[in-house]
Structures are given as structure tokens and as C-alpha cells.
Structure 1
């Protein structure tokens, strides 16, 4: 099993969309946690505002204050896809103004997410913009420390790479080639070849890479704003690019655990054989329910 976080620097694109497409194509039971301090966007976007924001991290923080984090945990989740109990979402906070209400939740939540491995569940965490340390307090540091992989997302244009480089520099010393498989930081490029490719970007940042997700704005809107998914969506560049990224994530986790001689907690699951999931909340028989 695995705990994988996704994060970005200021101005870097598409982290939530990346987290969604990876979760929907993930080959094992998976929980997607929306942990962006800027506020949640999946209920308003992917679900098109059709669900009330009446569960999630803020309600879980209240339960934690009463000592009920573990017992209340699954009550605060909802299915990402209709009739698929293996893909769930833990919604995030409503707005940045409510971030202080969950400040004490992150440490216990990180431990709870690691514990889900015993039940055979992988976890993807959308952190959004990550603090740089120093004068910026980062309450979500327990998740970053415990994650098997922290994927720093970046576009392939120079402004994206520049801000991402500053984030990486602030969080780690220069990593030489021999140590790139040991750190839990890796780069996920969104939209390679505009103009730099994933390997060039990884070398610039001094990190390993899990590859790239295709630049596919039309199909990305299926996930970001709930646009209808056409019949070709399962074979779209965005969806097809997710499988190789997932395989490389799992390979890095296995390699890192082997190097640390910890072994897999319960194995990180199959690398292949997943079927493209038709996007859209509670989509059934190829059509979106109203």
C-alpha cells in the first residue's frame, strides 16, 4: 500500500486535476484526501456543486477534538464514482479562513492515513501549494514526512520550473544522483514539451521523476469543472498518460523501501491491469446522472 502526496509551488498548474485522474485510474482501493489550505474545489468542480459541503476535514477535526477521529473517519468520505466503493474522497475545507480550525488535525490525520494500509487502502493527498519552511509555517508537515512519495507538480514552462525550483531548494539540500531514489520527493510534470520534457525538468530540480501527465485541457475540464465526458475520454491523452505515472510511482516506492530495508508495508499493489474509469461523479452506463 502507499501514501502519496501531491504538492505544488506558487503558480504551478493542475495539481488537483492530476490527483483526480490518478485516483480514478489507480489499480487498488484508494482514498483521495483534499488537503489544500486554499480551500476545496472537487465538490464545486468535478461534482458540479451538486453535493452539499457537509462532510470532510472540518467535521473530522471536530470529531478529533472529541477523541473520535478513527470512529468518525469514514463517515466524512463520499464515493468518487457511483457504485464503486473502492474509490473515495475526503473533502477539504471550504475556504482558507477555516484553515485554523484544522491546524491540530494534520498529525493525527497523517497517522490515520498510514494506518489505512492495514486495510489494503492506498491514499492520495492533494496538498495544493506547499509551504517553503522558514517564515512560512507548514502544519501539514506530518503528511509530507510520512508519505512514501511527495510528487511536486510543475508545468514545463520556465516560470513554472523557476518557482518549483525555489520550493525544492527550500525543502531539501542539493540531492546528488545516488540519493534521488532515497528521498520521498519526486517531480510530476504536467504538460511536457512546452518546451521542456520531464527528464530535463527533473535534472534541473535535482530530483527523480515519475514522468508526466499529458497537456489535455479539454479532457482536464471533465475533472476540474465537471464537463461532460465524451465517449473517447477513456482513451484521451490525459487518461492514457496516468497509467505510466502510476507505475513509476509504485516503482519508486518499492525501490525506496528496499533501499531502507523496510519492505512494503503490505505491498504496493499491481502495476498493470487497471481499466480506465469513466470520469464523472456517479456516472453509470456511460451517462452522467443529473
Structure 2
């Protein structure tokens, strides 16, 4: 694989937590890129391996400045930082006001992310997990998505959330693949849904959601279930002590990772 884009439709369904967990558990070397145009959280809630704060100036903004002159995929590492636990990250904007600094660069960034997996230098090759934040019809990160292998829309399972994500999947597939029926199933990127749910409910609801997507010709299907586990999310972010590897969150994401990879 190469670039995996993780996005939300409305509210705060857990897209960032899902992206972090996917990158941390990915079986190949992975780089987590925080590309939410509204601003990211990693610089506030994570720290470097040495315990010092992350540098907000080294990340998406510095990378976008480089991208204006062209960027080789291997240069992504010059703008990354390693957080406690060993995950390599490109921290995002600290506010939406900084979005102008990335304007017009989303496509170039997407290509660099996708190319990193194909680097001829094995020590530099990695898959990129991109946290795209909320994906609206006018989101600038839409220009990044054609370079992805998979786009994962993260949603909770309340009826209104599922209705919104169905409409987003239809609109996204029309934009990425045109309106030809069946094009979404054979084109790239594939669009998948990640349901954040109580594990006891998720399996039953997943089948119903797949049926709903098929009936709507949305061109998307369930890619996995992530446990609704606030305690596990706090452990993953370092805000709570405990064996995060034993949490429902991590156990559920391991299954998603296995299926995706």
C-alpha cells in the first residue's frame, strides 16, 4: 500500500484516534501525517521520545514551503518528528489561520505521500497514514485524495451519522470516479467506512450498513470496526496510564490493520 487517508464527515467521531492507532500498529514502517486544514492536536497532546514538546514549526508548514519548489518523497523525513513510543509524525497546522500557507500544495503533498512507499531507498520507504480531519464538499484536502490507495471515512453508528456518511460517500465517489456505476469498485482510491461502536453492537450493524451502502450505490463498504473505548483512546494519547495494548481500542484496530494490509 502507499497512502491511506483517514477522514471524518461530521463532528468528532474519532478519526484522529483511528489514524494514530493505525499508524502505530501498521506492519510496515509508517509515517503519520496530520493534514487537517482546521488544525491538528498532535503538537499539544504528544511529546518527543526525549519528553520535550513537539516543534510546531517542523511539520506540515515547513513541508508546504518546500513543496512550492518541488519535493522528493524522501524529503518528508526532514519534516517529521518521532514521538514517545516510536511513531514518526508530521505535525499539522496549529490553527485554521495557517491554512493559507498550504494553499495549492495539497496535490503535491499527496503525490509525495504516495511515492514514499515506492522509494528505491529501503531505509526511507514507508506507508503514510494521513489524518485529513473533517472532509466537507469544499475541503482543500480533496486534492490529496486521488493519490490515496484507500480513503477511510470514520463515523459513529447513530442513524443521523450513518445518513450523513452515506451522502458523503456518494459525493466522494462521484468526485473521485465520476458517476459511472461500478467505477468506484474498480478505481483507486477505494472508499471504506470505519464504524466506531460498542463491539457488542458493531458486527450486527456493519451488515446493515453494507446493505444500505449497496442500495444507495455509494461505492463504499465497511472496512472495519473500531471499539468506542474512551479509556483506550486516553492511554494511546499518553493522558492515562495503563496497558494500551490490552485495550479494546487497540485490539479492534489490529483487526482493521490486518484486513487493510
Distance 1:171 1:179 in 2: 10
Q: Please give the secondary structure, in 2, of the residue aligned with 1:172.
A: helix
- The answer as to 2:115 corresponding to 1:107 is no
User: 2:153 maps to what in 1?
Assistant: 152
Q: 1:198 to 1:61 in 2, by over 3 A?
A: same
| CA deviation vs aligned residue, 1:25-76 (integer Å, no higher than 9, x gap) | 1111001110111101112123399333121111112223344665753221
1:128 aligns with 2:133: yes
Q: Distance in 1 between matches of 2:168 and 2:180?
A: 14
Change beyond 3 A, Cα 1:128–1:32: same
Determine helix, strand or coil for the equivalent of 1:213. Answer: strand
Are the equivalent residues in 1 in contact too, given 2:107–2:143 (CA < 8 A)?
Answer: yes
1:101-124 CA distances to partner (integer Å, 9 max, x unpaired)? Answer: 101221111111121112331111
Moved more, 62-71 or 158-167: 62-71
- Give a deviation string over 1:255-285, Cα, whole Å, max 9, x none: xxxxxxxxxxxxxxxxxxxxxxxxxxxxxxx
- Superposition pairs for residues 43-82 of structure 1, below 5 Å? 43-47=43-47, 50-67=53-70, 72-82=75-85
1:169 deviates by: 2.4
Distance 1:36 1:179, change over 3 A: closer
Q: Relative contact order (alpha carbons < 8 A, sep ≥ 6): 1 or 2 greater?
A: 1
Question: What's the secondary structure of 2:192's corresponding residue?
Answer: strand
Q: What are the superposed Cα offsets for residues 231-263 of structure 1, whole Å, 9 maximum, x if unpaired?
A: x3211111111111012212xxxxxxxxxxxxx
The answer to whether structure 1 residue 188 and structure 2 residue 188 are counterparts is no
Q: Of 205, 208, 220, which residue of structure 1 is paired with 2:221?
A: 208
Look up the match of 1:141: 142
- Deviation per residue, 1:96-145 (Å, 9 max, x gap): 1111210122111111112111233111111111122xxx2x33233211
Whether contact under 8 Å (1:37, 1:93) holds in the other structure is: yes
Q: Could you say if the C-alpha distance between residues 114 and 5 of structure 1 is closer, same or farther in structure 2, counting changes exceeding 3 Å?
A: same
Contact 2:226 2:252 survives alignment (8 Å)? yes
Q: Describe the shift of the 1:195–1:61 C-alpha distance in structure 2 as closer, same or farther (beyond 3 A).
A: same
- Which ranges in structure 1 are unaligned for 5 or more consecutive residues? 251-290
Deviation at 1:195, TM superposition (A): 9.9
* RMSD of aligned alpha carbons: 2.7
Q: Which of the pair is proportionally richer in helix?
A: 2
Alpha-carbon distance in structure 2 between the residues aligned to 1:8 and 1:40: 13
Compute the displacement of 1:216 (Å).
0.8
TM-score, normalised by the number of residues in structure 2: 0.82
**CA distance in structure 2 between the aligned counterparts of 1:145 and 1:99, rounded to whole angstroms:** 20
Q: Residue in 2 aligned with 1:263? A: none
Please state whether the residue corresponding to 1:108 is helix, strand or coil. helix
Q: Number of residue pairs matched?
A: 241
Provide the C-alpha distance between the structure 2 equivalents of 1:246 and 1:76, rounded to a whole number of angstroms: 25
1:35 corresponding residue in structure 2: 35
Counterpart contact for 1:43–1:50, Cα < 8 Å: yes
- Compute the TM-score of the two structures, normalised by the length of structure 1: 0.74
Counterpart position of 1:229:
241
- Following superposition, the deviation at residue 191 of structure 1 comes to 1.4
Structure 2 alignment gaps of length 5 or more: 120-124, 215-219
Three-state SS of the structure 2 residue aligned to 1:73 is: helix
| In the alignment, structure 1 residue 22 sits paired with structure 2 residue 22 | yes
